[in-house]
Structure 1
Amino acid sequence: MNPVRQHLHHDSPYGTLTLVATEGVLSGVYMTNQRHRPPEETFGDRDPGPFTEAVRQLDAYFAGELTAFDLPLRLDGTPFQRSVWDQLLRIPYGRTRTYGELAEALGNPAASRAVGLANGKNPISVIVPCHRVIGANGDLTGYGGGLARKQRLLDFERGTALF
């Protein structure tokens, strides 16, 4: 039997976010046109109930009032992907890490490419801050929500956003 999935569209300064809950637990936050986004027809009810706290915290984050999320998350992926996403959750607000630094933290310095692939499959953008990962030379590299959006999020967190 397929798990019950619900979704909700929520406006943000970075475009409409699609929040997904699986069995009542947040399992996705997708930006408009984001890669690896599940097709809309896979979503069930649009009940806002499972999303109340996630929406509250996202709104506080975008208002500059919250720097760390405290939500139950359902991160469905391979064990390696989940280990990468766990490392993403450890990157402090306003800071960045390279793919190589994440690979080292996982005990496998040669795995930076695999870390990049897992980072790109992160289903819970913003909350699991994949936007905080940069290339070894400090350049912005791939981001499912687009590089311009990644730059805006980083500038926002550093307090240098130009709106």
Structure 2
Amino acid sequence: MPLKMLVTNTNVGRNTKALVAGVSERTLRHPDAMSSVFTAVDSISKELSSLIESPTPDDLSMTEKEERLQELMEMNQGLLQCMGVSHASIETVLRTTLKYKLPSKLTGAGGGGCVLTLLPALLSGTIVDKVTTELESCGFQCLVAGIGGKGVEICFGESS
């Protein structure tokens, strides 16, 4: 399932070791609740993987898949916030993209770093430009990336 994502670098460094320690401490304080959070994250990851790997025969199916992907991203981000790995800069990106009805979630360990925003196939380039301009005015760096597809191919000669 080919997708376009806006990758926003918050330019905030993070200490992965401290973030992991924070999640561990929270898990010790709230073992049952955190166990449920981890189970939900695992369930979302499996559903996302299945969704991305299933074939998309037409545009309607692609739109439906993007809507499901949007919901999964939003749920996952909420769970990551429950774990305590978000950051004020990440929340700024989330508020900004939400104004344009675009789902976002932190990536990596959180605590800063990058945020992924789904750019639906039917989204206009004007909206992408507006979001990017607004995020860059906050001091963030933005990059549009295409993901999915076959990957790298090397062709020799004239045949493809």
TM bracket (short chain): 0.3 to 0.5
| TM-score of the two chains, using structure 2 as the length reference | 0.37
| TM-score of the two chains, using structure 1 as the length reference | 0.36
Specify the structure having the higher radius of gyration (Cα). Answer: 2
Q: Select the structure with the greater relative contact order (CA < 8 A; seq sep ≥ 6).
A: 2
